[in-house]
């Protein structure tokens, strides 16, 4: 009778230990089970196609038949093709020409709306954001009506017949204006969100110390918004390398793409897709990926 007691005690102690171990395994696996749907969709819809396009960029393939291995020939052909460099210059121009004006205008609007100078702020916020929710194609058609040579609103107001969309020198700046108008609402919201993260006590302390509005903006607000500015410039650069609709809707006719003198670099990718040069199109995509990676 006495010898049985230690055995019973040992079993009683051992059972909870096993249960605790099972509970720990469940706690460990639960997070992975929750993220499994996302991981599967990410692998199937992103990693898989990306890996396939990377492999495809080394082949000549028309979508049927046998793929021919070319090595780096697709990349060499693209990098030695003058149209690629022309369209890349256009893309960089569109980015550099609009980014400073866009960011400055959006930031100033955010500062004004947040300040005490503006009343009825809830009215201005949706109005400023409104252009961002309009489809790019619709905006392009509106700008065609504004900048048309014969019946455009701008030429009628000026009493001239400037070929805004036919002359590529003018047309580039129309595209830049479109990018600013379309994007200002988005960055206004981003900057307004960034301004709300600034501790009001910091600004109040600057005011107590005798700082003017300009001094508070320069020495308090701008330094504290540094990370937001960096984020905005990087994201806008990435978006600029993906420009496609704006130039093509404005200047292209009859379902064609814009002339290379106006076209962004994505036009080359679409041209290769239309011609069933899928290997070359994949190579253009990966070159753009590397460019965006360098910029960001």
Instruction: For 187-221, write each residue's pLDDT tens digit.
Output: 999 999 999 988 888 888 888 888 888 888 888 88
Q: Are residues 108 and 169 in the same domain?
A: yes
- By CB atoms closer than 10 A (0-12, 13-18, 19+), residue 40 is exposed
Q: Are residues 228 and 263 in the same domain?
A: yes
Q: pLDDT confidence of 234, banded at 50, 70, 90?
A: very high
Q: What CATH code is carried by the domain that includes residue 168?
A: 1.10.3720.10
Domain termination site, one of 24, 48, 69: 69
Average pLDDT of the chain, as a whole number: 85
Instruction: For 128-150, write each residue's pLDDT tens digit.
Output: 999 889 888 889 889 988 998 88
What is the pLDDT at residue 271? 85
What is the pLDDT at residue 177? 94
Q: Which domain holds residue 245?
A: 82-295
Q: pLDDT confidence of 1, banded at 50, 70, 90?
A: very low
Name the token pair of 53.
């396009």
What is the pLDDT at residue 172? 92
What is the pLDDT at residue 261? 85
Q: What mean pLDDT is predicted for residues 85-107? A: 94
What is the pLDDT at residue 16? 52
In a domain, 1, yes or no: no
Q: pLDDT confidence of 79, banded at 50, 70, 90?
A: very high
Q: Are residues 156 and 57 in the same domain?
A: no
Q: pLDDT confidence of 19, banded at 50, 70, 90?
A: low
In a domain, 43, yes or no: yes
In a domain, 74, yes or no: no
Q: What is the 3-state secondary structure (H, E, C) of the chain?
A: CCCHHHHHHHHHHHHHHHHHHHHHHHHHHHHHHHHHHHHHHHHHHHHHHHHHHHHHCCEECCCCCCCEECCCHHHHHHHCCHHHHHHHHHHHHHHHHHHHHHHHHHHHHHHHHHCCCCCCHHHHHHHHHHHHHCCHHHHHHHHHHHCCCCCCHHHHHHCCCCCCCCCHHHHHHHHHHHHHHHHHHHHHHHHHHHHHCCCHHHHHHHHHCCCCHHHHHHHHHHHHCHHHHHHHHHHHHHHHCCCCHHHHHHHCCCCCCCCCCCCCCHHHHHHHHHCCCHHHHHHHHHHHHHHHHHHC
């Amino acid at each position: 009778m006495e010898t049985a007691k230690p055995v019973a005690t040992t079993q009683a102690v051992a059972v909870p230990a096993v249960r605790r171990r099972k509970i720990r395994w469940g706690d460990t696996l639960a997070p992975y089970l929750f993220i499994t749907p996302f991981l599967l969709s990410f692998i199937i819809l992103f990693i898989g196609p990306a890996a396939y396009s990377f492999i495809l960029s080394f082949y000549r393939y028309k979508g049927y038949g046998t793929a021919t291995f070319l090595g780096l020939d697709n990349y060499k052909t693209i990098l030695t093709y003058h149209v690629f460099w022309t369209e890349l210059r256009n893309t960089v121009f569109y980015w550099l020409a609009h980014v400073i004006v866009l960011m400055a205008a959006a930031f100033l609007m955010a500062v004004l709306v947040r300040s005490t100078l503006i009343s009825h702020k809830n009215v201005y916020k949706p109005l400023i954001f409104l252009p961002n929710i309009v489809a790019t194609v619709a905006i392009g058609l509106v700008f065609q009506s504004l900048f048309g040579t014969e019946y455009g609103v701008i030429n009628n107001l000026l009493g001239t017949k400037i070929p805004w969309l036919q002359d590529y020198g003018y047309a580039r700046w129309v595209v830049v204006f479109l990018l600013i108008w379309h994007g200002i609402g988005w960055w206004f919201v981003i900057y307004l969100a960034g301004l709300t993260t600034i501790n009001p006590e910091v600004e109040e302390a600057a005011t107590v110390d005798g700082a003017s509005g300009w001094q508070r903006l320069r020495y308090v607000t701008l330094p504290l918004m540094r990370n937001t500015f960096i984020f905005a410039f990087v994201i806008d650069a990435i978006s600029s390398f993906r420009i496609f609709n704006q130039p093509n809707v404005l200047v292209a006719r009859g379902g064609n793409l814009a002339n290379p003198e106006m076209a962004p670099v994505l036009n080359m990718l679409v041209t290769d897709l239309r011609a069933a040069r899928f290997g070359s199109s994949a190579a253009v995509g990966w070159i753009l990926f590397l460019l965006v990676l360098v910029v960001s």
